[in-house]
Structure 1
Amino acid sequence: MTENQIKLYGVHLNQDDPKKNTVLKLAKYKLVTIRKKIYHCPRKAIILDPFSPIQFSLKDRDMVAKYGIIVIDCSWEQTESIFKQNFQFGRSLPHLLAANTVNYGKWDRLSSAEALAAAMYLSGFQDQAKFTLSKFSWGSEFFKINNFQ
C-alpha cells in the first residue's frame, strides 16, 4: 500500500459462503484488513451503513484519508439487525447497481468489495477503487453500469 492509499477494514461476520465472499478475497490480496468486531477498527473510520441518513460524499475525503473505511461484511438477510444502532461515522451510499455475479443488476445489493470501491471512488480515491475491483472478473462492469467512468 502506498502513502496515497487509504486503509480498508472488513468486519467479517461469517454469514455468507466464504468461496463467494468478496472481502475475504480482498484480504488475500492484502487490500483489506479483516476484523472480527467493529471496535477492533479505528474509532473515527467511516462505516458503510445502508441505513445512515448521511450519504457518503467527497466531504468525507479527509476522514477517509486519515482513518479509512469500514465495511461490515454480513448477509443481506441480517442487515436490519446488524445496523440497528446508529454509527457516529456511518454513511450510506447513493443508489447503485450491483455488478457482482450473485446480485447483478439489482439496486443497492452491492457486495462488500463494491461498497468499498464506491466509497473510495466517491471520496476521490478512484485509482484505488478501480485497482480494488480489478481483482474480480466483473469489477470494471460495476463502474460502467453506474456511470463512474
Structure 2
Amino acid sequence: LRMWEFNQNDSKRDSGSKLVRLGMAKTLKVGQNYAGIVLSSEAQTVISREDLETVRVHGVGGVNCSWNQLDKVPSRKLGRARLHRILPYMVAANPVNYGRPFKMNTAEAMAASLYIVGLQQDAHDLMAQFSFGAEFLRLNRAALDAYAAAPDAAGVRAAEASMLAEK
C-alpha cells in the first residue's frame, strides 16, 4: 500500500498515518511516479478483479487527505500514474463519516480495493487494525462480495447499479 501524504489530518487519529506507523503502508513524495493502481475520485474506471495482478506486483495507492480539503490537493503534481481507479458505492464506518456513501477514510478505501481485486484476507487483516474495521466490512459485505465476484469493471458497475436500484 502506498499513499501521497498531505498532512491535513491529526496524524495520531488518521487512518493512513496509522497504516504507515504499523508498517502496512509507505508514503510517496509529491511528484513521485507510481506504477500501481491509484485510487482517485476523478477516475472513470472502477477497480475490479482485472486489477489483481497489478496490485500484487505494484500495489495500490491513494491520497491521504481530508475530505474537507480535497480541493487543496494538487492532483496534477502527484506523479505520473497510468492506472487510476475509482471505488464503487460503499458507505463509511469510520467515526467521522459513518454511514455516508463514498466518504471512506484511507484505510477503508485501501481495504475495499484489496477486497474487490480478490485479496479478501489482506482486506480483513488491514481492517482488524481499526476499531471500526469489522463494522466497515459488515456494512458493505453484500456490496464487497458482489464487486469481488464481478469478472471486470463493467461487471462491478452492473453490480453497483443493481445495488443502488434496491436502495
Q: TM-score, normalised by structure 1?
A: 0.86
Match of 2:21 in 1: 28
Q: Which runs of 5+ in 1 are unaligned?
A: 1-7
Q: 2:95 aligns with which of 93, 98, 101?
A: 101
Match of 2:67 in 1: 76
Give the conservation status (yes or no) of the 8 Å contact 2:2–2:59.
Answer: yes
Deviation at 1:19, TM superposition (A): 2.2
AA aligned opposite 1:55: V
| Aligned counterparts of 1:83 and 1:139: Cα–Cα separation in 2 | 29
Q: Cα gap change, 1:60/1:101 in structure 2, threshold over 3 Å: closer, same or farther? A: same
Deviation at 1:51, TM superposition (A): 1.6
- 1:119-142: CA deviation from partner (whole Å, max 9, x where unpaired): 000011110111011000110111
- Greater helix percent: which structure? 2
Q: Cα gap change, 1:55/1:15 in structure 2, threshold over 3 Å: closer, same or farther? A: same
- The yes-or-no answer on 1:128 pairing with 2:122 is yes
Is the radius of gyration larger for structure 1 or structure 2? 2
Report SS of the residue matched to 1:31: coil
Give the conservation status (yes or no) of the 8 Å contact 1:11–1:71.
Answer: yes
Identity %: 31
| Aligned counterparts of 2:115 and 2:100: Cα–Cα separation in 1 | 20
Q: 1:47 aligns with which of 19, 38, 41?
A: 38
Q: Which runs of 5+ in 2 are unaligned?
A: 146-167
Q: Cα gap change, 1:79/1:72 in structure 2, threshold over 3 Å: closer, same or farther? A: same
- 1:55-109: CA deviation from partner (whole Å, max 9, x where unpaired): 0001111111111011110111232453754952110000110000111100110
Q: TM-score, normalised by structure 2?
A: 0.77
- 1:13-61: CA deviation from partner (whole Å, max 9, x where unpaired): 101121221011111111001223251x5x3210000121100001111
Match of 1:91 in 2: 85
AA aligned opposite 1:126: Q
Give the conservation status (yes or no) of the 8 Å contact 1:114–1:133.
Answer: yes
| Aligned counterparts of 1:94 and 1:102: Cα–Cα separation in 2 | 20
AA aligned opposite 2:127: L
Number of aligned residue pairs: give it. Answer: 140
